[in-house]
Amino acid sequence: MKKEKNKKLAAEWFKIGDNEFCFAKAAFEELGAFYPQICFQCHQAAEKYLKGFLVFHNTNFPKIHDLAQLVKLCAKIDGDFLKILEEANALSQYYIVCRYPLEYPAADRKQAQEALEMAGKLMDLMREKVNTKII
């Protein structure tokens, strides 16, 4: 019974991640603007997928937004996750940098495109790992 509940909850995490990713992709393709927000949405999509994967495997996680830390938790379940640690580190920067006025320049079109590619790679790995059973 617990396994079915975990599958359902993981599917909800993935659905939210899909929506955030599709929103970011549509903004990139249709508006050609709002690049910092696109980067932030890519971070959010990847975060939802990582947390969904952990839920799917009945693994508790801290209330954090650091994608590298979440990837390391996922890697305890499946070592293949270490392959996406670099992308997770890169996407994690967008959680703060794109939301608050800091000493960093705003993300540009190239960074937004890279963020979309990195988030897509992370999401693809997680879909593969759960064999799309719940998506």
Residue 115 covered by a domain: yes
pLDDT tens digits, 103-120: 667 788 999 999 999 999
pLDDT, residue 74, reads 96
pTM above 0.75, yes or no: yes
Residue 33 covered by a domain: yes
Residue 33 CB contacts under 8 Å (≥ 6 apart), including other chains: 27
Residue 90 covered by a domain: yes
Q: What is the mean pLDDT of the chain?
A: 89
Residue 135 covered by a domain: no
Residue 23 covered by a domain: yes
Q: What is the CATH number of the domain that holds 95?
A: 1.20.120.330
Residue 35 covered by a domain: yes
Tokens 């059973």 belong to residue:
133
User: Higher confidence at residue 2 or residue 64?
Assistant: 64
Task: In whole angstroms, give the CA distance from residue 43 to residue 93.
Answer: 9
* Burial track 50-83 (b if 16+ CB lie within 10 A, e otherwise): bbbbbbbbeeeeeeeeebbebbebbeeeeeebee
The total number of structural domains in the chain stands at 1
pLDDT, residue 104, reads 67
Residue 134 covered by a domain: no
pLDDT, residue 135, reads 45
User: For residue 54, what are its two tokens?
Assistant: 């952990």
**Which range marks the domain in which residue 69 is found?**
2-129
Residue 75 covered by a domain: yes
Closest CA to 40 of 96, 83, 82, 1: 96
